[in-house]
Amino acid sequence: MDLLSISAFAHLTRLSPKALRLYDELGLLAPAHVDPASGYRWYSAGQLARARRVAQLRQLDMPLARIRTVIDLPPEGVAAEVGAYWSEQRQAWQAKQELVDYLINHLTGKATTMYDVSVRALPARTLLTITEHLTPDQIGAFATPLFALFGGPAVDRPEGEAGRPFLRYHGEISNDSDGPVEFCCPIIAADGADLTRRHPDMTTVAEQAGREAYISVPKANMMTAVGFESLHQWLIDHDEEADWLPRQIFLRDPETAESTDAVYELAVGLRG
């Protein structure tokens, strides 16, 4: 088998030797042969297509952790993942544009259209919870099966708004830094012991009665940044204080929602 040196392979794939070494360490692109004496890496011509695919996905700024889960899928699966990823990126850029417009208007004294903030009372309730440290691209895989399981009829929950499962964020998260994300499902208190036996990785937490301020977010603005600014401004205007552990309360499946449908509520608990 004819082998290519790492420099020759880097030239053909438009990847740097440094990137190739990193991809080897991450299990994305292992060399065809490593010299046992020198540690020098050699690649085969048959690896060029995979290397170019990795390079293309990196040009889209797809995180390496996500590429690792995508790269070995059949072509149709890779295509679906690329489409899903790019849809997320469009939403992220729309959110950034929304924030840019807000900042420019705020700094130049112009009015910005903010979200309408509502307040509601919540009763004391028992929550079935599980927490994991996640980056933004991991939240879907964490939350989707939990909402599917606990958001349906399999679990008895309090009626109305008090019974909706939600995510609670305990810190800032980004693609470069994970943070604690808590899934919470309100349950009937008497069922707590049985549910923790059935789901031993989850715990029950007693939540006191209180109030929360919230906004409704449509599908078209799912990654809104002005939503948080709306809540901040409302707190200032109404002389209120919040626990600032944002809750994301999903109302419907984003996949089946229309662009104008409210997909989730963004809420913060109020103190006092």
Instruction: Report the pLDDT value the prediction gives residue 255, as an integer from 0 to 100.
Output: 80
Please, which pLDDT band fits residue 136 given cuts at 50, 70 and 90? confident
Pick the more confident residue, 42 or 98: 42
Instruction: Report the pLDDT value the prediction gives residue 210, as an integer from 0 to 100.
Output: 96
Round to whole Å and give the CA distance between 237 and 258: 32
Bridge partner residues of 216 (DSSP): 265
Whether the pLDDT of residue 194 is over 70: the answer is yes
Phi, psi of 206, rounded to the nearest 5 degrees: -85, 125
Pick the more confident residue, 221 or 80: 80
Question: Would you state the structure tokens that stand for residue 1, as one six-digit string?
Answer: 């088998």
Which of 35, 45, 51, 38 lies closest to 2 in space, CA to CA? 45
Please, which pLDDT band fits residue 230 given cuts at 50, 70 and 90? very high
- Give the DSSP H or E segment for 68: helix 64-70
Burial class (CB in 10 A: 0-12, 13-18, 19+), 87: exposed
Burial class (CB in 10 A: 0-12, 13-18, 19+), 129: middle
Whether the pLDDT of residue 152 is over 80: the answer is yes
Please list, in sequence order, all residues whose beta carbon lies within 8 angstroms of the beta carbon of residue 197, skipping any fewer than 6 positions away.
Answer: none
* Neighbour tally for 20: CB within 10 Å: 22
Question: Would you state the structure tokens that stand for residue 205, as one six-digit string?
Answer: 């937490």
Instruction: Report the pLDDT value the prediction gives residue 177, as an integer from 0 to 100.
Output: 78
Please list, in sequence order, all residues whose beta carbon lies within 8 angstroms of the beta carbon of residue 53, skipping any fewer than 6 positions away.
Answer: 71, 78
* Neighbour tally for 2: CB within 10 Å: 6
Instruction: Dump the DSSP string for 166-193.
Output: EEEE-S--BTTB-EEEEEEEEE-GGGHH
Please, which pLDDT band fits residue 202 given cuts at 50, 70 and 90? very high
Mean pLDDT across 236-260: 90
Mean pLDDT of the chain: 90
DSSP letter for 219, please: G
Pairing of strands 41-44, 125-134: unpaired
- Range with the lowest mean pLDDT among 109-123, 188-202, 236-250? 109-123
Instruction: Report the pLDDT value the prediction gives residue 182, as an integer from 0 to 100.
Output: 97
Instruction: Report the pLDDT value the prediction gives residue 221, as an integer from 0 to 100.
Output: 83
pTM tops 0.85: no
Round to whole Å and give the CA distance between 227 and 99: 10
Report percent pLDDT > 70 for the chain. Answer: 99
Looking up tokens 């790019």 gives: 86
Instruction: Report the pLDDT value the prediction gives residue 259, as an integer from 0 to 100.
Output: 83
47-69 b/e with 16+ CB inside 10 Å = b?
beebbebbeebbeeebbeebbee
- Range with the lowest mean pLDDT among 31-35, 172-176, 182-186? 172-176
Please, which pLDDT band fits residue 1 given cuts at 50, 70 and 90? low
Round to whole Å and give the CA distance between 59 and 104: 30
Instruction: Report the pLDDT value the prediction gives residue 201, as an integer from 0 to 100.
Output: 95
Report percent pLDDT > 90 for the chain. Answer: 64
Instruction: Report the pLDDT value the prediction gives residue 175, as an integer from 0 to 100.
Output: 65
